[in-house]
Chain A
Amino acid sequence: MIGSDVVIENVNKSFGDFKALDDVSIGIKKGEFFSLLGPSGCGKTTLLRIIAGFEEPQDGLVLLDGANVLPLPPDGRKVNTVFQNYALFPHLSVFENVAFSLRLKKRPESEVRERVGEYLKLVELSSHAQKKPAQLSGGQKQRVAIARALINEPSVLLLDEPLSALDAKLRQHMLIELDAIHDKIGITFIYVTHDQQEALSVSDRIAVMNAGKVLQVGTPQEIYESPATDFVAKFIGETNLFEGVIRSVRGEMTEIESPEFGTILITDVDPPPAGTRVSWTVRPEKIRIELDRPQRARDGLNVFQGVVDEPIYSGFQTKFYVKTPKATLKVIKQHADWSDEGPEIAWKEEVWLSFSAEDAFLVEVKR
């Protein structure tokens, strides 16, 4: 199987007054594991349905290897879908579900047996071939849906929140399997999800969407470490997001006048001029929390004092909400190495917070 590149150009789609997709353009590379990530109603599923052929956009283009596929019906596109609720045919056995597209093409029985056997093996369901979908567990149904979509040898596989109906543990497991299948067959995967954890862990690149618009396209690292907008910063992972005005710029080191914290030092490769209103962010795990005041040894270390409001212990880490005089900061302390832990930090305790300028970023320029 060979993957296709998919280009979405200026696609618009409205349902009545509701604008589901607002001038969306995305380029997806051959063989990429590409995620469309956003909250429900952001348009990601609509975009997937347009690529599959179940919806028609008001205008725009969808190109598969350079050819516009919009005039083609769903059965005419080299694209297959794994549906959110699996959409397995309840009246057919696992074998016949997977064989469905081959039967439509009237392939000889020997070929059908061989190919279905091969794909059932790929998803490790060989021993369940004669069962009906109702007799399968959620994870098994999921795998039948994947085998059924792949046997058609599509050049693009569309996955519409394929793991949302599974429990957390199974989801992790299926995610790893999906990734393995993608590596094995090498076609383009377009994966729709509202779960940022899923998207971050398997995608080559992610498009973050909200309210019908694409806000940022980038690798998981780019999206996590340097979010392009406030929404992306808040939607991906946990964050501390504040506003301020740029006071001075010295090289990459930028001083921000923050109403909450006084002066904040951040780094940015191309900071806007002094006087610009901006939003800035620092991830909770980048903030150090200590009982003693850190020595101001390094240049560009931001230090404040606060009171622990609420520690939330979750095994491998503890999340603290720390009250500073004018704001609350989220801080995550990873429990990596007990020798490095220091004394336990408790509720109502006075603590020192610090983060270096390299760990804080400018997000948006405000007008």
Chain B
Amino acid sequence: MKRGPGGLYAAPSVVWLTVFFIAPLLIIVLYSFMTPGARGGVELKPTLDAYRAIANPVFARVTFNTILVALGSTMITLLIALPCGYYMARSSKQTLLLLLVIIPFWTNFLIRIYAWIAILGNEGFLNDLLRALGLAQDSIRFLYNRWAVMLVLVYTYLPYAILPLFSTIDKFDFSLLEAARDLGATKLGAINKVLLPNIRGGILTAFLFTFIPIFGAYAVPLLVGGTESYMLGNLIADELTKSRNWPLASAISLVITLVTTIGVMLLLRANGTNVLGGGGGKEESEGKAGKLDALAGAAVVGTAAVVGAAAPAGGGR
């Protein structure tokens, strides 16, 4: 890392991170070791009860379900985002397509979920259409199951996957694909052997930007999911608001943070790529600084996602 007067200029961001990131995290750590208060909050009596409660099989089942939904939706998202990013990078109408990807952000996230309810509901647009076309007599129940949750999650996080993929593919030298074809690779072979390895950084970024927030999802399973699609975010929220067991909610949050952070670190180490930089196929020197940056990045992404997911739960009711 560089040494010099730069440290002083970093002061504002250090203060910002301390007040809004490290301090809340420390509070969560402290809460997880306390006794639950009668009406929420905590009593200042240290105990390991919260961590003992995690051993409950309900927690394992919800965790398993969360991993299933998160991995499934992330994979589907990436499979859709890759061709989209590829097409955008090759298109002459890049600005327009970028705008189309970004426009959904202009509408509030919750409103967009309710829009899906309006489309998929029993009296919703899709059922009306099917009935009008004579394809169905009774309403088909599209909502309140795992598939509805995954559909809306994929819809929500698709732009987060498309954007990093687009920016990496845009930097990709397409004459490499011609070179591969020239050397005897088929169209698919050229993509497999040359495009994918060179945009690995972008794929990894897209994976993290999708998987981590979906892992901490709360609102989507709450609004369009059923009992089977109950996720860790919902568990934390219920512990906070219904069971009023703040220490348990904190402990679950911390376990998720720890697991995602370690997972991300392993992924980064295996790839040796600077995720947040995208890495357009250019080899970067892997110094100690680079690794530390990656570690810090991973920790920030991981924790922010989970804290972010828990925040609306704490403040919402």
Within 8 A of B (CB), among A41-98: 52-54, 73-75, 79-81, 83, 85, 87-91
Q: Pick the 7 closest A-B CB pairs, nearest first.
A: A87-B179, A101-B183, A74-B181, A91-B197, A87-B175, A90-B281, A75-B184
Cα A134 to Cα B182 in complex, Å, equals 21
Contacts A/B (CB < 8 Å), 7 sampled: A54-B178, A73-B181, A73-B186, A75-B186, A81-B178, A101-B184, A134-B283
Pick from A88, A91, A104, A149: contact of B189, CB under 8 Å: A104
With most chain A CB atoms within 10 A of its CB, the pick from B176, B182, B185, B186 is B182
Give every chain B residue within 8 A of A148 (Cβ-Cβ).
183
What distance in Å separates the Cβ of A101 from its nearest Cβ neighbour in chain B?
A: 4
CB A131 to nearest CB in B, in angstroms, measures 11
Contact, CB under 8 Å: A134 / B178: no
In which size bucket is the chain B interface? Answer: 20 to 34
Taking the nearest CB of chain B, how far is it from the CB of A125, in angstroms?
Answer: 17
User: Which A positions have Cβ atoms within 8 angstroms of B?
Assistant: 52-54, 73-75, 79-81, 83, 85, 87-91, 100-101, 104-105, 132, 134, 148-149, 152
Select from chain A the residue with minimum beta-carbon distance to B200: A91
Chain B neighbourhood of A105, CB < 8 A: 184
Q: Which residues of B contact A101 (CB under 8 A)?
A: 183-184
Closest to B187 in A: A73
Give the residues from 182 to 204 in chain B that come closer than 8 angstroms, CB to CB, to chain A: 182-186, 189, 193-194, 197-198, 200
Closest B residue to A80 by beta carbon equals B182
Residue in A73, A75, A88, A132 whose Cβ sees the most chain B Cβ within 10 Å: A75
Q: Which residues of B contact A87 (CB under 8 A)?
A: 173, 175-176, 178-179
Measured in the bound complex, the distance between the Cα atoms of B193 and A90 in whole Å is 12
B301 located at the interface, meaning its Cβ lies under 8 Å from any Cβ of chain A in the complex? no
Give the complex CA separation of A148 and B197 in angstroms. 19
Alpha-carbon distance A81/B254, docked complex (angstroms): 56
From A79, A91, A134, give the contact of B198 (CB < 8 A).
A91
The listed residue (A75, A83, A85, A132) touching B185 by CB distance below 8 A is A75
Interchain CB contact under 8 A, A104 and B185 = yes
| B276 at interface, CB cutoff 8 A | no
With a CB–CB cut-off of 8 A, which chain A residues contact B193? 100, 104
Q: Which residues of A contact B200 (CB under 8 A)?
A: 91
Min CB distance, A77 to chain B, in Å?
9
Chain A residues contacting B179 (CB-CB under 8 Å) are: 81, 83, 87-89
Across-interface contacts of B185 in A (CB, < 8 A): 75, 100, 104
Do B198 and A80 touch (CB < 8 A)?
Answer: no
